[in-house]
Amino acid sequence: MTVERPIRQVEVTIVVPARNEEACLGDCLASLVTQGDVTFEIIVVDDCSTDRTAEIARSFAGVRVISPGPLPEGWTGKNHAIVAGVREAGGEWLLFTDADTVHAPGSLARALAEANKEKADLLSYSPEQVVVTFAEKALMPVIFAELAAQYPPEKVSDPGSGVVAANGQYMLVRTAVYQKVGGHRAVAPEVLEDVALARRFKQLGRRVFFRYGGDAVRTRMYRNWPQLREGWTKNLALLFPRPGRRALWLTAWWIVAWLTFPLVFPALLLYWRISRAHFGRRTTVVALAFGAPVVAFLLLRSARAHAHTGVIWKGRMYRAAA
């Protein structure tokens, strides 16, 4: 006799893929379980963690912890984990969020209201980026300033624009539409799965809404230089179509700003560009002084890795899909 799992009448299923996230998962779940004014369920997909990730997840009442099983050939671990979570979901909406995020009180209900107001099938926020170490302060503002220039939110949200972006740290999607476009299964090999999924939504005429979401969610993506190097080597060449040209542009701007510093104007222009990334003044100054050449190095490193050796993330080797 087969007993079917009853479908829970929830508005949102929150799916948190997690692989060796004991340093941050507790704060993430503590911020999620206390969300109000919306019915939701939380599914943590423990992706073969070797630390206390699963134990921490199970310590939260009401949080379901599942395993995605062996990673199939040609899939990235995150896509495989998310598909496993979706398979267990009962919500009309799906929120995909990373284990290193912390969510503001009431933000889930506000995001749901905003998605309905904007008639969005996919709503994505770019979280506030928390930076602590010198390396984080030097690099993150430069990178996010360049992302803001490459993917202006107003163009991403314009149905008539070819500019496509999303941030996988916070993606809220209508379940029915997500299934129609093929979901993460359709972008299984993609290292940059968030942008690839948003592209499918937009290509199929579905509404994408994207904005800076520091009022809703924050994250500390990387906690030291090795994590910064590995993470941005994975992503940068995929985010910027001509990484070599952008590396040259960044380095040239930085040199000009330093050489003409007494004239102030070039440095102010670079400061203004970096300041659009929503970091504080002191952090922006650190990034202005030291960040550009290191980001240029990471752009070139990322391009080389994707062209030749592949990239390593969370102990797995990936080669980006074309």
Summarised one tens digit per residue, pLDDT across range 43-100 is 999 999 999 999 999 999 999 999 999 999 999 999 999 999 999 999 999 999 999 9
Write out pLDDT tens, residues 174-211: 999 999 999 999 999 999 999 999 999 999 999 999 99
Q: What is the band of 320 on the pLDDT scale with cuts at 50, 70, 90?
A: low
Among the residue ranges 132-146, 271-285, 307-321, the one predicted with the least confidence is: 307-321
Write out pLDDT tens, residues 267-291: 788 888 899 899 999 999 999 999 9
User: Mean pLDDT throughout 5-18?
Assistant: 80
pLDDT at 322: 42
pLDDT at 9: 73
pLDDT over threshold 70, residue 154: yes
Q: What is the band of 300 on the pLDDT scale with cuts at 50, 70, 90?
A: very high
pLDDT over threshold 50, residue 1: no
- Nearest CA to 295 out of 253, 256, 257 is that of 253
pTM above 0.85, yes or no: yes
pLDDT at 271: 85
pLDDT at 7: 47
pLDDT over threshold 60, residue 299: yes
pLDDT over threshold 70, residue 8: no
Write out pLDDT tens, residues 208-264: 999 999 999 999 999 999 999 999 999 999 999 999 999 999 999 888 888 776 667
The two three-digit tokens of residue 303, written as one number: 């391009």
pLDDT at 3: 39
